[in-house]
C-alpha cells in the first residue's frame, strides 16, 4: 500500500509538471548545533540548508495533493519520496541566515522547484552525466521467436538507438562481437556476471534483457495468411561497480502481419521502444540521486593494518557531508568500506580522502562508485 501511495504522489507530481513546469517557494530549515568549534556550526548549517530544501520540495508536492491526503499520508513524505524529487530544486537563494545564534542554526531559502522529469531536460541530464564522468552504457539482449533462439538483434538495436537519441554514451558496438547471444541469459540471471562483463568492456552500466515473441493467432481472410504475435520484453540495468540492479521493468505488445518472423519482430520492436523509455527514466533517476542527494561509494583498502584502518574510518566519519561509514569486511590486509556521502562531495571525494589527517594512503584506482587505496604506513 505504501509503495502504491508513493507512486500515486509521484504520478500527480509528474502530471502537474506538464502543466506548470516549476514553482517558486520560500521555506525554512533549522538544526541544533552539536559539538564545539567551527566544524559543529558548519555541520548544523548543512543540515539546516538541507531541511530548508526538503521543506521547499514538500511545499511543491503539497501543491498537487489535497490537504487531507497530505495529513493522512504525511509519513509517506520521507526519504523515499524525497530521493525522487529533491534533485528538482533547480536553484535557490538564501534569504536569511542566523549564523547559529542561540545554538540553533536557521536558514530560509527562496527555491525554484522544477517538478518535470529530468530526462526531458537535456541540459540537466548533461550536467548529471558530467558530474558522473560521462558514464557509458552496455546493452545485451537475448531474443526468441516461438521458442527458437534468433540471431537477429531487433530489441537490442532498437534500445541502442533510443539510448543514443536520449543522449547516452554507449560502449563500442564492435566489442559486442565477443559476447555471444546465448550468454545474455546468464548475465540476466546473474548481476555479478553482468557487472564483470561491463568492467571488461569499460561500461559503468550494463542493461541485460530477454525478448520473446509467440504466435497467439492465425487466420486466412480472403485466402491470405495473417499472423498475430505477442511479445514480452524485460530488462535490468546493473551498476557495474556494485552489481546492484538500479532499474528493472518489462513491457508487452502485439502485432499482426503477413509473415511470421517479420510480425514477431515488429511486436518485439514495439515492446523494446516502450521499455527503453522506462529504463532510461529509472537510470537517470538513479544518477540524479547520486549527484543531488546521497550516493554510496565503496572504498577498498589494501595493505591495511588494524590501527590504520580504524583511524581512517574515524577520519571518514568526520568529513562534512559523510552520512555513514560501514566496514563490510577485513581480511588479510584488505578492508572494504561502504561510505554514504552527500551528492555534492561525489566528484571531489577522491581528493578529500587523500588529505585526511593522521592517515597515509595512496589512491590506486577509481571507477564510478569505487575507490581503491593502499595504506602506506605498513
Of 182, 263, 195, nearest in space to 230 by CA: 263
pLDDT over 90, % of the chain: 26
Query: If you ran DSSP here, which 8-state letter would residue 204 be given?
Result: S
Tens-place pLDDT, residues 2-31: 444 444 444 444 444 444 467 888 999 888
Angle at 10 between CA 6 and CA 11, to 5 degrees: 115
d(CA 255, CA 339) in angstroms, rounded, equals: 48
Region 57-78: mean pLDDT is: 48
> Cα–Cα distance between 23 and 20 in angstroms, integer?
8
Residue 218 C-alpha cell reads as 492465425
Cβ atoms of 229 and 261 closer than 8 Å: no
Grid coordinates given for 174: 564492435
Q: How far apart are CA 327 and CA 372, in angstroms?
A: 14
Confidence of residue 211 (pLDDT cuts 50, 70, 90): very high
Contact 131, 284 (CB under 8 A): no
Average pLDDT, the chain: 79
What is the average per-residue pLDDT within 329-341? 91
Beta-strand ranges (E) seen in the chain are 22-32, 89-97, 104-114, 136-145, 148-149, 169-170, 205-219, 226-239, 245-257, 294-302, 322-331, 334-342, 361-367, 370-375
Render pLDDT for 164-190 as a digit per residue (tens, 0 to 9). Answer: 888 888 887 666 665 655 566 667 778
Among 98, 143, 103, CA closest to 264: 143
* Spatial separation of the C-alpha atoms in residues 79 and 62, rounded to whole Å: 16
3-state secondary structure of 108: strand
Beta bridge partners of 97: 107
pLDDT of residue 126: 63
Rounded Cα distance between 37 and 48, Å, is 17
The pLDDT, as a whole number, for residue 145 is: 93
What angle (nearest 5°) sits at the alpha carbon of residue 237, between those of residues 21 and 149? 125
More confidently predicted of 329 and 74? 329
Mean pLDDT score, 290-313: 85
pLDDT at residue number 118? 39
193 pLDDT above the threshold of 80: yes
Task: Answer whether residue 207 shows pLDDT above 70.
Answer: yes
Q: When comparing pLDDT for 87 and 89, which is higher?
A: 89
Of 221, 217, 274, 222, nearest in space to 249 by CA: 274
Map out the domains of the chain with their CATH numbers: 2-116 (3.30.1660.40), 122-291 (3.40.50), 294-375 (3.30.70.60)
pLDDT digits (tens, 9 = 90+) for 23-38: 888 999 888 887 777 7
Query: When comparing pLDDT for 295 and 335, which is higher?
Result: 335
Give the contacts of 79 (CB within 8 A, at least 6 positions apart): none
**What order do you get walking across the sheet with 104-114 strand by strand?**
22-32, 104-114, 89-97
3-state SS class at 355: coil
Q: Does the structure show a pLDDT above 90 at 229?
A: yes
pLDDT band per the 50, 70, 90 thresholds, residue 221: confident
Classify residue 39 as exposed, middle or buried by CB count within 10 Å of its CB (0-12, 13-18, 19+).
Answer: exposed
Torsion, Cα of 361, 366, 372, 375 (10° steps): -10
pLDDT at residue number 79: 43
pLDDT at 157 over 60: yes
Please report the pLDDT score of residue 127 as a whole number.
59
Higher pLDDT, 91 or 124: 91
CA dihedral (251, 10, 50, 23) in degrees, to 10, reads: 120
Task: Quote the distance between the C-alpha of residue 236 and its chain's center.
Answer: 12
Amino acid at each position: 500500500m505504501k509503495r502504491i501511495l508513493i507512486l500515486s504522489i509521484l504520478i500527480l507530481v509528474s502530471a502537474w509538471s506538464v502543466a506548470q513546469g516549476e514553482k517558486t517557494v520560500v521555506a525554512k530549515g533549522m538544526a541544533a548545533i552539536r559539538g564545539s568549534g567551527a566544524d559543529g556550526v558548519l555541520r548544523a548549517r548543512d543540515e539546516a540548508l538541507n531541511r530548508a530544501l526538503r521543506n521547499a520540495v514538500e511545499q511543491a508536492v503539497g501543491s498537487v495533493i489535497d490537504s487531507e491526503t497530505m495529513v493522512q499520508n504525511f509519513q509517506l513524505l520521507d526519504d523515499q519520496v524525497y530521493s525522487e524529487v529533491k534533485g528538482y530544486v533547480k536553484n535557490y537563494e538564501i534569504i536569511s541566515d542566523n549564523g547559529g545564534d542561540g545554538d540553533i542554526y536557521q536558514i530560509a531559502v527562496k527555491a525554484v522547484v522544477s517538478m518535470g522529469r529530468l530526462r526531458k531536460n537535456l541540459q540537466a541530464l548533461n550536467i548529471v552525466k558530467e558530474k558522473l564522468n560521462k558514464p557509458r552504457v552496455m546493452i545485451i539482449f537475448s531474443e526468441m521467436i516461438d521458442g527458437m533462439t534468433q540471431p537477429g538483434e531487433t530489441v537490442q538495436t532498437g534500445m541502442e538507438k533510443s539510448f543514443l537519441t536520449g543522449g547516452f554514451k554507449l560502449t563500442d558496438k564492435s566489442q559486442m562481437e565477443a559476447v555471444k547471444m546465448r550468454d545474455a541469459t546468464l548475465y540476466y540471471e546473474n548481476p555479478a556476471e553482468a557487472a564483470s562483463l561491463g568492467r571488461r568492456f569499460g561500461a559503468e552500466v550494463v542493461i541485460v534483457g530477454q525478448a520473446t515473441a509467440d504466435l497467439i493467432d492465425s487466420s486466412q481472410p480472403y485466402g491470405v495468411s495473417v499472423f498475430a504475435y505477442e511479445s514480452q520484453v524485460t530488462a535490468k540495468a546493473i551498476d557495474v561497480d556494485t552489481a546492484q540492479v538500479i532499474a528493472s521493468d518489462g513491457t508487452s505488445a502485439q502485432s499482426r502481419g503477413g509473415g511470421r518472423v517479420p510480425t514477431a519482430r515488429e511486436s518485439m520492436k514495439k515492446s523494446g521502444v516502450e521499455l527503453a523509455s522506462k529504463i532510461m527514466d529509472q537510470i537517470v533517476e538513479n544518477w540524479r540521486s547520486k549527484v543531488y542527494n546521497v550516493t554510496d561509494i565503496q572504498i577498498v583498502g589494501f595493505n591495511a593494518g588494524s590501527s590504520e584502518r580504524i583511524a581512517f574510518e574515524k577520519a571518514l566519519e568526520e568529513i562534512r557531508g559523510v552520512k555513514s561509514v560501514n566496514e563490510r569486511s577485513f581480511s588479510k590486509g584488505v578492508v572494504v568500506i561502504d561510505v554514504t556521502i552527500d551528492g555534492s562531495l561525489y566528484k571531489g571525494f577522491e581528493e578529500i580522502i587523500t588529505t585526511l589527517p593522521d592517515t597515509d594512503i595512496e589512491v590506486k584506482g577509481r571507477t564510478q562508485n569505487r575507490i581503491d587505496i593502499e595504506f602506506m604506513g605498513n
